[in-house]
Amino acid sequence: MMTDPFYRGPHRRLNALTGDWVTVSPQRAERPWQGEETPTESEAMSGYDPECYLCPGNVRATGQQNPIYQSPWAFDNDFPAVLMQSPRAPAEQSPGDPPLPSDLFQSEIVTGRCRVVCYSPDHSRTLSQLTEAQIEQVIALWAEEVAALRQEHHWVQVFENKGAMMGCSNPHPHGQIWAVDILPNEARRESMQQMAWFESNPEPLLEAYRRSEEASGTRLVTMNTHWCAVVPYWAVWPFETLLMPRRRVDHLDALNTEEQRALASLLKVLLSGYDRLFDTPCPYTMGWHGAPGARSAPHWQLHAHVYPPLLRSATVRKHMVGYEMLSEAQRDLTPEAAAEQLRRAIGP
């Protein structure tokens, strides 16, 4: 097996967390670019927008009025993707139609709850632009929401789509939490891989992986007493990072005060580094994967994925098309090179 992470020829890497493979093609990094270039989001915003549905005191599209909140605030999504009580499933065929093979036409009801988390009353501040104390307030609210939702729902997904490039429909600093009563595809794959590892090894998969990355340092981006961030060995997106606590934790609601404070510091450093690397408020999708359900899961380690779409600059993004859609994920920049660029952007 090819084990040299600095190999400059085409090769594949296995994602130990999902079981998927990614093709790495370092020789393509120097090819000329004549494709799409997206304008940067450079327009200055004020701290309050009277037309924003999420600003304090404003009326949302449904007619509900926001409170004059002064700190992070959460509410039920006015247009949720899942409902607490879904209507009955429609009939799959009309009376008199020949029966359909049940193993080819399967469906099931999905129920749950969707929440919106406003990070700040200030319309102009992204998460990276908040102070560490303000980010710590966001983390505390995440933990509070997760603690309540885990009691009623099987999977709680905390996430943020930042920037129009990532499909965000409102620039006010906010994220979402979807709590559903099933185990989604990505969570199912991660759970199976972590369980298989745990049954054959004395520690969780991501604990072993974290220690190896910290010892190597080649893909380590930043770390502190309680957290580390790496460009994972198997990264798909050019500047993808994986955040891990430095002890085993089930979910965000299990973090103590010191760990929440350290996480706020690491997020400030990492997200500000992204902004400096691309000289723009860097778009991304970020999400937390905690253990399913409310019971302890010894095989599972809490972690966060950060997926920025940018490739060469603030105007050039990675497109998951062609081979990626039809065969498997592929990247031109090696994870080691991406980590080095992020370390330089973060600085000492």
Contact of 252 with 139, CB cutoff 8 Å: yes
Decide if 174 is catalytic: yes
Burial of 264 (0-12, 13-18, 19+ CB in 10 A): buried
Using DSSP, state whether 290 is helix, strand or coil: coil
Say which amino acid occupies 163: G
Sheet holding 11-14, edge to edge: 11-14, 21-24, 329-331
Cα–Cα distance measured from residue 163 to residue 190, given in angstroms and rounded to the nearest whole number:
27
Write the CA distances from 251 to 42, 104, 175, 184, 257, integer angstroms.
Answer: 35, 36, 17, 17, 14
Cα–Cα distance measured from residue 84 to residue 97, given in angstroms and rounded to the nearest whole number:
32
The residue among 78, 71, 80 whose CA lies nearest residue 118 is 71
| β-bridge mates for residue 289, sequence order | 303
174, 226, 299, 305: the active-site residue: 174
Return all residues near 323 (Cβ < 8 A) that are at least 6 apart. 23, 330
Within 13 Å and on the Cβ side, how many CA atoms surround 86? 14
Cα–Cα distance measured from residue 169 to residue 187, given in angstroms and rounded to the nearest whole number:
26
Contact of 309 with 237, CB cutoff 8 Å: yes
Just list the catalytic residues: 174
